[in-house]
A and B are shown apart, each in its own frame.
Chain A
Amino acid sequence: ILNVEQSPQSLHVQEGDSTNFTCSFPSSNFYALHWYRWETAKSPEALFVMTLNGDEKKKGRISATLNTKEGYSYLYIKGSQPEDSATYLCASLNAGGTSYGKLTFGQGTILTVHP
């Protein structure tokens, strides 16, 4: 995998549903995997930063897992609420050579939670 890829591109769920998205990233020169929440007309805000293979992080109803060997991360939302509607971005931070410090974003998953 050369780029950071997210799936699905968009998702519509009903209030109360649980959902998850996928982020795939290059496993070479990996330093960290970031997840951001981006509401319309606002700036992205960090949800999680994960570095270790097998990391699991949780914030309220949102959690994330990381597999650095195979290059993927999952973001889970339990019991979705309308206020969870946003674009969820993942980004891979590179630690190798001339690209040290470079953060590459995926295109995002747009989540819409219907009341």
Chain B
Amino acid sequence: NAGVTQTPKFRVLKTGQSMTLLCAQDMNHEYMYWYRQDPGMGLRLIHYSVGEGTTAKGEVPDGYNVSRLKKQNFLLGLESAAPSQTSVYFCASSPLNEQFFGPGTRLTVL
């Protein structure tokens, strides 16, 4: 089992560009989450999903959109990237107890 994988691992964008981060899990988990990690801020929840076809807003959803068309995938989109979105993004999946985290995506917006 690959667990939770994230694509890409690194990305540099210019302000205004768009991109999609892909999170995939092979553990048949219902719940999936997107977080961002910034210095001194811990992990902040962007969006999450409690099942295929559902999404919900977390603490910092502005500027991001998500989709969960398939149970195993959770996509995070940035429509018009801003420097404030420079961060490390972690995806996690869960059967509603412990969370299993992906390796992270380091995104820089210039």
- Chain A residues within CB distance 8 Å of chain B: 32, 34, 36, 43-46, 49, 89, 91, 93, 98-108
Flag whether B43 is at the interface (Cβ < 8 A): yes
Docked pose: A43 CA to B94 CA in angstroms: 15
Q: Which of B33, B100, B103 contacts A103 (CB 8 A)?
A: B33
Q: How far is the CA of A66 from the CA of B42 in the complex (A)?
A: 22
Q: Nearest-CB distance from B90 to chain A (Å)? A: 7
Selected contact of A105 from candidates B45, B94, B97, B102, CB within 8 Å = B45
Chain A contact residues: over half helix, strand or loop, or mixed? strand
Residues of B within 8 A of A (CB): 31, 33, 35, 40-45, 48, 50, 56, 58-59, 90, 94, 96-104
Contact A106 B42 (CB under 8 A): yes
CB pair B41–A104 under 8 Å, yes or no, is no
Residue in B40, B59, B101 whose CB lies within 8 Å of A43: B101
